[in-house]
A = this chain, B = another copy of it.
Amino acid sequence: MKTQYYTAASLDGFIATEDDSLDWLFPLGDVNETSYPAFFREVGALAMGSATYTWMLRHVVKPDTGTGATWPYTQPTWVFSSRTVPAIEGADVRPVRGDVRPVHAEMTRAAGGKNLWIVGGGDLVGQFLDAGLLDEIIVQVGSVTLGAGKPLLPRRLVGDQALRLQSVQRFGPGFAELRYEVARRAAS
């Protein structure tokens, strides 16, 4: 069982524009032709911040448009937010706030031996990292620069092989996948 940060980012280290747009991302390639399907099959529970959840709601589920699109995850999903988050029909969404450590323990119990996916944003991932709870970072580096935006991981992770590159893979002209093992620095 691993706790993984799997995300796409620009070459200059942003996971979204300042206004949370991912419009730059989708022309780069089909996520189903990357390692995503194999990664996702092993996910037993998810956690995300409220900006990520709101993005999903607006751009994937779109409840007001009548497109009938549904929440894409059957796994339980913890949403970190200091405010109330709108529910989505048929989605196992568990609002939560505060310390990531008890949530990680709950996620572990719920995941049945499968992996935990910390979807983002970067600051939520940083909180799991700070608590010594992050095992892997998998970045699909898109062939774009954004110049500004939401940071991949607002932390300083330097020295003593804090990150160890495990593999690199090219998915067409649009994506380079980089996989890192995270040295556990704090007690979990």
Contact = CB atoms under 8 A, between A and B. Distances in A.
B167 A144 contact: no
Contacts of A164: 143, 173
Contacts of A174: 161, 165
A111 interface: no
Contacts of A141: 141, 178
A96 interface: no
A162 interface: yes
B165 A155 contact: no
Given A161-B173, A173-B165, A145 B156 contact: yes
A123 to B, nearest CB: 11
B169 A144 contact: no
Interface stretch (A8-16, A83-91, A99-107): A8-16
A175 to B, nearest CB: 7
A157 interface: yes
Given A12-B152, A152-B11, A143 B165 contact: yes
Contacts of A13: 10-14, 152
A80 B186 CA distance: 45
B176 A163 contact: no
B147 A154 contact: yes
Contacts of A178: 11, 141, 176
A146 B139 contact: no
Most B C-beta atoms less than 10 A away, residue of A141, A152, A165, A169: A165
Most B C-beta atoms less than 10 A away, residue of A12, A14, A151, A173: A12
Contacts of A173: 161, 164-166
A153 B161 contact: no
Most B C-beta atoms less than 10 A away, residue of A162, A163, A172: A163
Interface string A119-154: 000000000000000000101010111110001111
